[in-house]
Structure 1
């Protein structure tokens, strides 16, 4: 089981790492979102307002990554007690997949608001948030939750498995 220090380390380190990555790559994400926009890249804002939607990313990034790592580490500690070392890659895959399921509870609403603000930069993050609540209710923030969980948990489980497999070679 995880001790208090392990929990806190997982929470803070995971949250900070996720926030650093998300905020560093934010402009690239905006360009990608606008390239995929139905209104076209330039009509969606082009290179103007490249940080549109950053408040949503900044607010969701830390808790999203922290929840992933806390869930991942906790699951590993619980499952690690009942399996052999041969089954360790399976434990890591399950832990990573469960971490993604939990993290997506925060990631998906944050992404919905962020992407809409990126595609319609003149609205602003707060207006996008309010419009989503008014027009779609709370479930509007979870549009695409199932497909996001499927994609993320598959990638996460596979990625962890590949890293562990490669580490046994060296």
Structure 2
């Protein structure tokens, strides 16, 4: 009787997943910044051009603004300072502002993400081969497409989250419902897809890098610690 495949340890999944997340951030973070800037830009006044005319204009202006502001005074001196000031201003609610919207985004989007990735891995695996033998280009393809499906589900609640989290305290007393009403009333239903181009440009390479990083790290861990 053939030996059953040994299950992968949680520690290996943790380490490989962490490395995959690092790869995702490294590849995708610049366009994530652009996405948030596009999502939170105020509506333009009548007769006035918008703050950003598109993804690449936002990227250019963001880069120039950061260069110009690098020698000026900043509101937050890092993540810890930001957390302290948020807590001082709004208490624990300030730190967790937007949690419901984050869950509304991440629960369905993550489900779509991993379902699509696993389905594509199985679909792309040649007959008679193991999923673990999948080639790098096919891993990149599966991861990239999974990222696109993830963000196709995630972007409307992500827009609401960005608006809600960056709003002044008290602007939206009823939470995301007020954000949704204001957006649709002032900017139309398409405003829920602000930053779509930036998201989709980012989605494929960032998530392809994430899953490739995970698979490479897992193979490396299996090589150096086969009995873990």
TM bucket (normalised to shorter chain) is 0.5 to 0.7
Is the 1:97–1:156 contact (alpha carbons within 8 Å) kept by the matching residues of 2? yes
User: Is 2:147–2:208's contact at 8 Å kept on the other side of the alignment?
Assistant: no
Distance 1:83 1:130 in 2: 53
Equivalent residue, structure 1, for 2:184:
133
The one-character-per-residue Cα deviations of 1:49-82 (angstroms, maximum 9, x if unpaired) are 2222222112222101001111111111111136
Name the TM-score, length of structure 1 as normaliser.
0.65
- TM-score, normalised via structure 2 length: 0.50
Corresponding pairs, count: 132
Partners of 1:125 and 1:97 in 2: CA distance: 30
Tell me how far apart the structure 1 counterparts of residues 128 and 186 of structure 2 sit (CA, whole Å). Answer: 48
Q: Does 1:100 align with 2:151?
A: no
Aligned counterpart in structure 2 of residue 111 of structure 1, from 143, 154, 158? 158
Structure richer in helix, relative to its length: 1
**Match in the other structure for 1:54:** 99
Kept after mapping to 1: 8 A contact 2:113/2:147: yes
User: Alignment partner for residue 121 of structure 2, among 67, 76, 88?
Assistant: 76
Shift of 1:136: 2.0
Equivalent residues of 1:52, 1:125 under 8 A apart: no
Which runs of 4 or more aligned residues in structure 1 lie more than 4 Å from their structure 2 counterparts after TM superposition? Answer: 82-87
Deviations 1:12-65 (A, max 9, x none): xxxxxxxxxxxxxxxxxxxxx8xxx89x859xx944222222221122221010
Unaligned stretches of 5+ residues in structure 2: 1-35, 42-73, 77-84, 224-228
In 2, Cα distance between the equivalents of 1:83 and 1:158? 26
Question: Where does the alignment leave 5 or more consecutive residues of structure 1 unmatched?
Answer: 1-32
Match of 2:109 among 40, 44, 64: 64
User: Aligned pair in 2 of structure 1 residues 83, 132: CA closer, same or farther (>3 Å)?
Assistant: farther
Shift of 1:157: 0.7
Q: Distance in 2 between matches of 1:92 and 1:154?
A: 12
Q: CA deviation at 1:135?
A: 1.8
Structure number with greater CO (CA < 8 Å, separation at least 6) is: 2
Give me the whole-angstrom Cα distance separating, in 2, the residues matched to 1:83 and 1:144: 42
- 1:148: which partner in 2? 199
Measured in 2, the distance between the counterparts of 1:132 and 1:77 equals: 40
RMSD: 2.8
The separation in 1 between residues aligned to 2:150 and 2:187, in whole angstroms, is 22
